[in-house]
Structure 1
């Protein structure tokens, strides 16, 4: 089990992987990134992640390297790390240069691939459920920064998660400036009421999660009614079931919101079906069938 880092064409051990303190990703969060995992050693949903990386780069006017370069870098780094299963982080920064906000000061964009052993949440959280806290930190307005851009500036989510952790919760749930449910600090949220699954629409101002999209697809294939619709905090608190999704977590059940139990059992029946469906998808990826 090892950590390997590819930086602009060279694979380094963790201790030797270094970037300049003048890099704009370090100074300003002037960067974009993607996180994914492997299943059976194969990257999960790599192409959707690369597509989103390209959109994020375009949104920040960052140079996007050829996709074949990134695919090759990922394959090289995964092979060097030789982990059974891996966490992967792909990072693009504008590069280093004279200190100042003007993007014209940046030189030599950085392309980075970080690979380390996959560490999923404890099994207990999948068996009993995690806890969610609806926080006071408001999701950044789409009029300020496009939520579809997965940038290195993550202060909004950092502050949200810090508030949730102070309340003793596992994950935060943010609302937008109008009080509508948005998303977690690093997850998308779903609720189940009367067998119907609902999740906030993208136009509320959320990141279009890759796993969110995959779970919606899997749910509809299972014959489950899924609706993308605005939700209020009370819709989450009163739900029969709540779960969150992300690339590393997959489908994770929620047993309590704001300290109040969710539904009669956790995971609930719909959440269990979707957990099995997503695990089945990961199995197909491992076999090279998805």
Structure 2
């Protein structure tokens, strides 16, 4: 299946030139993005993703996205995409800019918006490795979904090298933080606990919904207190004293079955969370 692309007001071919060589998103990674799952031709939780796109853009110092234009582009690519489409990607950059890190002021920017729809592969379970690199919870872009993804590329490549599909990172003070493209939940002592946003993790949409829906349905799931989940909690996962659950827009809610070189068994709450999430998805595609 080919990728469907919208840019500058129209659908484009994959071989069409879309971005200038001086686009600040290309030269210095000065951009933000969102990825949505697609079900039956509709982007899941689009309104929440667009709110986060706005937060990321403003947090990065970009001008505010044009919500109506983004929605028009989303509808265009999904209407043109085939039935096997599973992923939507929205990318917004500062547009043409200087060759260095300095950028034009928001009112001087001519932003670049590119929206794509294409295939996605979902796995019911996850295989995870620990890596030596960390998230900087005090970074200027902590918690923003930016296009500066080189750290994630390197960490995920290491995961694939070891036969896994995700890498989980600590932050600079040794707390459990997140995966390269996922949030994490630890199942122990009869509850699911996820690192707080102060750890430097992204405010994931799937994470957010699982916390909300879990509270509605009586699932014991909550955000951890700062420092409650040290990175060493993964030793408990490896030994079977705890379990690890991942969440993400394409991954959805996915229990971990392998950590490093150790097979682990998903916990009952992790499996319950997976079922709960899919049931809610079936009832409302824009919660």
Same fold? TM cut 0.5: yes
Q: 1:109 to 1:274 in 2, by over 3 A?
A: same
Structure 1 residues 101 and 137: alpha-carbon distance in aligned structure 2, compared to 1, 3 A threshold: same
Q: Deviations over 1:112-147 (max 9, x none)?
A: 111113x2234xxx2xx33211211111x2332232
CA-to-aligned-CA distance 1:214-239 (integer Å, 9 cap, x gap): 11122222312223113123323314
Q: TM-score, normalised by structure 2?
A: 0.90
Q: CA RMSD in A?
A: 2.0
Structure 2 unaligned residues grouped into runs of 5+: none
**2:151 aligned residue:** 156
What are the residue-to-residue correspondences of 1:221-240 with 2, within 5 Å?
221-229=216-224, 230-239=228-237, 240=242
Paired residues of 2:4 and 2:12 also in contact (CA < 8 A)? yes
Cα 1:243–1:218 change in 2 (3 A) is same
* Correspondence for 2:272: 273
1:174 aligns with 2:169: yes
Unaligned runs of 5+ in 1: none
* Distance in structure 2 (CA, Å) of the matches to 1:164 and 1:47: 32
**Partner residue in 1 for 2:260:** 258
Q: Which of 210, 216, 227 is 1:215 aligned to?
A: 210
Q: Distance in 2 between the 1:15 and 1:150 partners? A: 27
| 1:102 maps onto 2:97 in alignment | no
The alignment's TM-score, normalised by the length of structure 1, stands at: 0.89
**Residues 103, 242 of structure 1: CA spacing in aligned structure 2 closer, same or farther, 3 A cutoff?**
same
CA distance in 2, matches of 1:98, 1:208: 30
Per the alignment, residue 138 of structure 1 pairs with: 134
Correspondence 1:67 to 2:89? no
- 1:40 to 2:47 alignment: no
For the residue of structure 1 that corresponds to 2:73, the secondary structure is helix
Partner of 1:15, secondary structure, is coil
My pick for the range that moved more, 234-243 or 101-110, is 101-110
Instruction: Report if the CA contact (8 A) 1:40-1:285 is conserved.
Output: no
Whether the 8 Å contact between 1:42 and 1:285 is mirrored in structure 2 is no
1:20 to partner: Cα distance: 1.5
1:178-213 Cα distance to aligned partner (Å, 9 max, x none): 111100011001111132111111111110000011
Cα offset for 1:24? Answer: 1.1
* 1:76-87 map, 5 Å: 76-87=76-87
For 2:122, the equivalent position in structure 1 comes to: 121
